[in-house]
Amino acid sequence: MNNFLNTINSPKELRLLKQEDLPQLAKELRDFIINIVATKEGHLGASLGVVELTIALHYVFNTPKDQLIWDVGHQAYGHKILTGRKEIFETNRQLNGISGFPKRDESKYDTFGVGHASTSISAALGMAIASQLKGDDKHHIAVIGDASIASGMAFEGLNHAGVTNANLLVILNDNAIGIDPSVGALKMYLTNVKKGTQKQDNIFEALNFDYSGPVDGHDIDAIISELRRLKTVKGPKFLHVITTKGKGLKQAEEDQVKYHAPGKFNATTGELIAKSEASQQPPKYQDVFGHTIVELAKQNKNIVGITPAMPTGSSLKYMMAEMPNRAFDVGIAEQHAVTLAAGMATQGLIPFCNIYSTFLQRAYDQIIHDVALQKLPVIFCLDRAGLVGEDGATHHGVFDLSYLRCIPNLIIFAPRNEIELRNIMHTAQLGLKQPIAIRYPRGRGVTMDWKQPFSKIEIGKGVALKKGNKLAVLSIGTIAKNVTEAIKDLNVSHYDVRFVKPLDVNLLHTIFKTHDTIVTVEDHTVKGGFGSVILEFASENNYKNTIKILGIPDAFIEHGSVDELQEFVGLDVEGLSNYLRTRFCIRD
């Protein structure tokens, strides 16, 4: 039997195949993705679900002249393999390898960089309008999932597109799941459309799109036929495609949440390769949050939990299972999540709003206008703060201290370990009169015996971890672990400042008066972050101490493991130790 995938280095070779050969190519492409991801890890289910659609798009349209935008990009592995990256696909998400998401400077076929949801329609419409203005005759296709299209930004794009005559095709990849199952009234609407029971007017036709579908997303002939027809239709068009996430791997179809990004697995059987027992390791910070909020909510009936489409990733799933009427997955709607929390807070509820640091960026106005301005005691739990690893530049949570600390009325805290996370959550629900942001990283902590009795944390108080001589290291958050190891044989002081806002000014005065040199360390950008806070304090108080800032450099950091990236930016144990020894001639 021919191996068609071996002959394809770009869509040009793909278009030379006979249409009857494409189902075999789809099987080969699925097998290729499964075999690579089984050992290298990555986002599996989404790409398996769109194999036929991916082939059909590149077969029918003249990419890259015709511009194809994948929303989020979890589903773009097949696209990458067919567009010249097959031989290097095994480097996907690895240090110095290709990105796990479409990226403009990686390939001319990646027409728009993505990673966050719901941007594709706006971007494709912008390209389509630009083509009109320039007189370019080309097609613009946005492929968006049913979870992403429920976002407000997607509706903003649809709303605008419907009053243009732009050459735009929106393809809805409808598999009823994002990372977790899709939620909301739009999901119910799409379900009714698929069942043929929808009685209301078609929402997309009402927005002035030429609607077609639903089409079986695994019937490649049907997809190609419809795409060819739509090429002849002018103006905004909408194709509804039904797919199965994880298609072609039985376990991935049956457990779509786990196989979204399953880690290593057996490519033949689909069985996950077990990692060392979690009971033998400290917990993940997300699980500390998830179990702690349930514990607190059992004691305090006013506590509610909110997450925008991340119940599994944030571990709010535990509260949703035990208290489904008090825990809310609002879908990919970060702006709504924040203002929903604000509304709840006005009525005496205590909302824990759990959002990844990188996604909270999408709700910045709501933090300022709807929460902080009104001094509403929303508790923001910022998961995935700092370097997150293989998801790379679009997902690192390295800007939150900078964009939050300029906001009045907002407390900002970073726990050093799991016990501190529990205690600040306990403290926050006791009755703060203003909002608080708590940032913590992806991955496991350092404390096996983490479930200690709750203890109240005094707001705005740092702690001394080690007393030394003339140099003091000031850290914020869990990077303290690396600092502690780096200085264990060095005669230097170490302080965990804990609060970026309000600052422990009494502690800082003591530090500046007793140490000649101050070194700040943070898992955050050096521009505007914790180090900048210390510089501002020194300036305001006319201190002349030497101050050095260590953190994420002023650049977008690409993908790799957290350990690799910490080494790259000098925040690993060896890097910190060498810096202190060589820069300041400190010896044991």
Q: Where are the domains of the chain?
A: 4-10+22-260, 281-439, 463-583
* Catalytic residue set: 245, 334, 362
- CATH code: domain 463-583 is 3.40.50.920
The torsion defined by the Cα of 376, 379, 384 and 387, in degrees rounded to 10, comes to: 60
Average pLDDT, the chain: 94
Token representation of residue 400 = 């939150």
Question: How far apart, in whole angstroms, are the C-alpha atoms of residue 34 and residue 525?
Answer: 36
Residue 307, pLDDT score = 97
List, as one string, the DSSP characters of 422-441: HHHHHHHTTT-SS-EEEE--
What are the respective helix, strand and coil percentages of the chain, to the nearest 5? 40, 15, 40
What does the pLDDT look like over 374-433, one tens digit per residue? 999 999 999 999 999 999 999 999 999 999 999 999 999 999 999 999 999 999 999 999
Q: Find out whether 95 and 167 touch, Cβ atoms under 8 Å.
A: no
180-208 as b/e, with b when 16 or more CB fall inside 10 Å?
bebbbebbeebeebeeeeeeeeebbeebb
Alpha-carbon distance of 333 to 445, in angstroms, equals 29
Cβ neighbours around 503 below 10 Å, total:
20
Predicted confidence (pLDDT) at residue 587 exceeds the cutoff of 70: no
* C-alpha–C-alpha distance, residues 168 and 348, integer Å: 46
pLDDT of 277 reads 52
Tell me: pLDDT of 93 over 70. Answer: yes
| Tens-place pLDDT, residues 299-352 | 999 999 999 999 999 999 999 999 999 999 999 999 999 999 999 999 999 999
* Amino acid letter, 569: V
CATH code for the domain defined by 4-10+22-260: 3.40.50.970
Query: Are 440 and 476 in contact, with CB atoms under 8 Å apart?
Result: no
3-state SS, residue 142:
strand
Count of residues in the chain? 588
Asked if residue 115 lies in contact with residue 73, where contact means CB atoms within 8 angstroms, the answer is: yes
Task: Report the C-alpha gap between 24 and 466 in whole angstroms.
Answer: 64
The pLDDT of residue 185 is 83
Q: Give the tokens for residue 546.
A: 């030497």
Let me know if the fold of 4-10+22-260 is the same as that of 463-583: yes
Provide the token pair at 115: 């990673």
Predicted confidence (pLDDT) at residue 252 exceeds the cutoff of 70: yes
Contact 413, 437 (CB under 8 A): yes
For the chain, the C-alpha Rg in angstroms (whole number) is 26
At CA 580, angle to CA 579 and CA 586, rounded to 5? 135
Alpha carbon distance 192, 357 (integer Å): 35
Q: What is the mean pLDDT of residues 436-441?
A: 98
Query: Against a cut of 0.85, is the pTM above it?
Result: yes
Q: Decide if pLDDT at 488 tops 80.
A: yes
Backbone φ and ψ of 399, nearest 5°:
-120, -5
pLDDT of 42-65, one tens digit each?
Answer: 888 899 999 999 999 999 999 999
CB 54 within 8 A of CB 80: no
Residue with tokens 């009234």: 185
26-53 core/surface letters (b: 16 or more CB in 10 A; e: else): bebbbebbbebbbebbbbbbbbbbbbbb
φ/ψ of 455, rounded to 5, equals -140, 135
The token duo for 224 is 């190609």
**CATH classification (class only), 281-439:** alpha beta
Q: What is the pLDDT of residues 187-211, one digit of tens each?
A: 888 888 888 777 667 889 999 999 9
Looking at residue 418, its pLDDT comes to 97
